[in-house]
């Protein structure tokens, strides 16, 4: 970590948000209403899903796996 004396603050003229009043988010209403679409929300026809299966028991061994249903 650098010494406190060597740190310099950003010049206030370079601030992007502080002191600029209201900042506008393009999808702010959707985010607040729970309607915003994120990458994880993407659904495509024929899309397959994967999951990392972890054992609830420490050092357990898998004895069988089930193939995906199509």
In a domain, 67, yes or no: yes
Whether 61 maps to a domain, the answer reads yes
Per-residue pLDDT reduced to its tens digit, 15-32: 887 877 777 777 888 888
How many domains does the chain divide into? 1
pTM: 0.33
Q: What is the 3-state secondary structure (H, E, C) of 29-45?
A: HHHHHCCCCCHHHCCCC
Do residues 27 and 36 lie in contact, with contact meaning Cβ atoms separated by under 8 Å? yes
CA atoms within a 13 Å half-sphere pointing along the CA-CB vector of 65: 9
* Structure confidence at residue 22 (pLDDT): 74
In this prediction, residue 46 has a pLDDT band, given cuts at 50, 70 and 90, of: very high
Burial state string for 54-65 with b = 16 or more CB within 10 A and e = fewer than 16? eeeeeeeeeeee
pLDDT confidence band for 41 (50 / 70 / 90): confident
- Range 39-59 average pLDDT: 85
Q: In terms of residue numbers, what domain contains 25?
A: 7-70
Q: Is pLDDT at 49 greater than 90 in this prediction?
A: no
**Has residue 1 been placed in a domain?**
no
- Tell me if 27 is assigned to some domain: yes
């Amino acid at each position: 970590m650098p010494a406190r004396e060597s740190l310099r603050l950003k010049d206030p003229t370079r601030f992007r948000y502080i002191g600029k009043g209201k900042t506008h988010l393009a999808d702010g209403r959707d985010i607040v209403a729970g309607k915003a679409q994120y990458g994880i929300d993407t659904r495509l026809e024929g899309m397959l899903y994967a999951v990392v299966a972890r054992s609830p028991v420490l050092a357990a061994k898998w004895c069988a796996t089930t193939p995906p249903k199509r």
